[in-house]
Structure 1
């Protein structure tokens, strides 16, 4: 009896062991699960990659948001109506109406030498100060963010320290300005601000300074003024592209799609069909203002060869070396697309340029 009982016990143990072995062998290995997730992830990436170009064609507003990036309102948690929070304590915030239903947020910063006098002064005092014969810079920023972006505030401080008035606006749809951006709309906003300044500045020099996307706004504005018989005193373009089509082809976003079949049709043609052109190259053929081109050799957004092309176009159009100047900044300085304001020689470069504008 004992022997039979032992046999039964050993059989039970063997059966249990066999079942355990079968159970463990049917469970998926961790490496198999990881491979499954990797495959799924790659599939999702491929679907998104292929879908984006078609989405551009089906929903043109997407390309508008990519070009302007006006919904990216960085820095966050900044009250644009309080520039003193950013240590611009000789700056007034105001809102101008460029068109029916369009309100533009604008900062007016007086020369740093007047910061004590500016304390507690109202909007009327700031406006009256424009007619004192001091040069005025109208700053037209690039895409994305607001006038409070660190590199924009940095440039405002530099220009104010030199001794200039600076007016920086957020175009329609940007920052605390109302409306939606279009190329015509941005140009209208800049043109309105220029005319607003000229109505109060007397004989003071007025210079348009465009950065990145804003270079197209600046040259568009200068050409519109030429059509009215007005030549802007001076134009400075920083990080400028030849036109938005070529600029888009070299933008880092475009790197992912250079080899995609129909890249031009899906992306570049879509911009043109939505009236996003910003033709700096064509504008420079018509401009007669003195021009200063600033560009970093290590600009990863807009390659410097575009600035060189613009320089050659402007020189040919104006047939004068004195009217057009280009200053490249060595790549070893690490300024890239937004950092030229850090250069210690920039104030002298700007002073020299503005000095040549004096009648």
Structure 2
């Protein structure tokens, strides 16, 4: 039986609508994979000293976060984790910054760990801004570094755009959740079905501090071309580091990643000298 154009169009529209509604109602399950912890759970880490804190960001909404402390800290890293598990496991990554003499603040999003509250796009952003404002009361912003990993990168970019931290570091950044869906369903008008509006690329336009982007060359979940695109939004203000052979979740297992962190934090203490570009090959016409 031969189908006419209008029948095919109707079938296509119906399939698109069904997929769109599935994405709309189930995107929390697609994008968030929380681990819940009992209220009496005790955080403990080898070689790390962590103070457990809780903030009521809205009536009835309690956000759990950890303050990893060092002796004589040079500043604080505000660490926004990915979309899985809880700070129970993510807390181990604080050692990458405490070894550099930086304290670390790490929070659990709503519904993760001990944090409570209904997870919404605006609710998540509100909680993160709330905790960041608490931290700003402890240290001046020129001693604050905002770090985001994977799903934490749009939140990190949002904070940096709305505030004035010393530095923004994005590890395996996403472009937007809409782009993430369109990678697998390129013909679907995903923007009409998005309940979580997290456009990293838009936030980066308003960031005034230096931006450092770290990405694995073999990242299959978020292709490295995403980091290249994001680095081109503010090229004069951005430095891109590609960790060869690294994937999405194992970048920390590469020595080069830690060398990059050393370089980035050394630049905070001793910014690179200004280059006199008149004494370089920058203005040479190779064809002449």
Q: Which residue of 2 aligns with 1:61?
A: 25
Contact kept in structure 2, 1:290 and 1:357, CA below 8 Å: no
Q: Which residue of 1 aligns with 2:219?
A: 299
Q: Name the CA distance, whole Å, in 2 between partners of 1:93 and 1:182.
A: 24
Q: 1:73 aligns with which of 35, 53, 66?
A: 35
Q: Which residue of 2 aligns with 1:42?
A: none
Q: 1:336 aligns with which of 244, 247, 266?
A: 247
1:356/1:62 CA distance change after superposition, 3 Å: same
1:81/1:106 CA distance change after superposition, 3 Å: farther
Q: Deviations over 1:137-178 (max 9, x none)?
A: 0110111221123xx334212222222111110012222101
Deviation of 1:97 after TM superposition, in Å, equals 1.8
Q: Name the CA distance, whole Å, in 2 between partners of 1:80 and 1:141.
A: 22
Q: Which residue of 2 aligns with 1:104?
A: 63
More helix by share: 1
Q: Deviations over 1:48-71 (max 9, x none)?
A: xx98972651683312332233xx
> Superposition RMSD on alpha carbons, in Å?
2.7
Unaligned runs of 5+ residues in structure 1 are 1-49, 115-131, 226-230
Contact kept in structure 2, 1:285 and 1:314, CA below 8 Å: yes
Could you state the TM-score of these two structures normalised by the residue count of structure 1?
A: 0.65
Secondary structure at 1:200's aligned position in 2?
coil
Secondary structure at 2:259's aligned position in 1?
helix
Q: Which residue of 1 aligns with 2:280?
A: none
Q: Deviations over 1:53-112 (max 9, x none)?
A: 72651683312332233xx417xx78884221x43641111111222221111011113x
Deviation of 1:289 after TM superposition, in Å, equals 1.0
- The structure that has the greater radius of gyration is 1
Q: Which residue of 1 aligns with 2:256?
A: 345
More strand by share: 2
Secondary structure at 1:166's aligned position in 2?
strand
Could you state the TM-score of these two structures normalised by the residue count of structure 2?
A: 0.79
Contact kept in structure 2, 1:80 and 1:148, CA below 8 Å: no
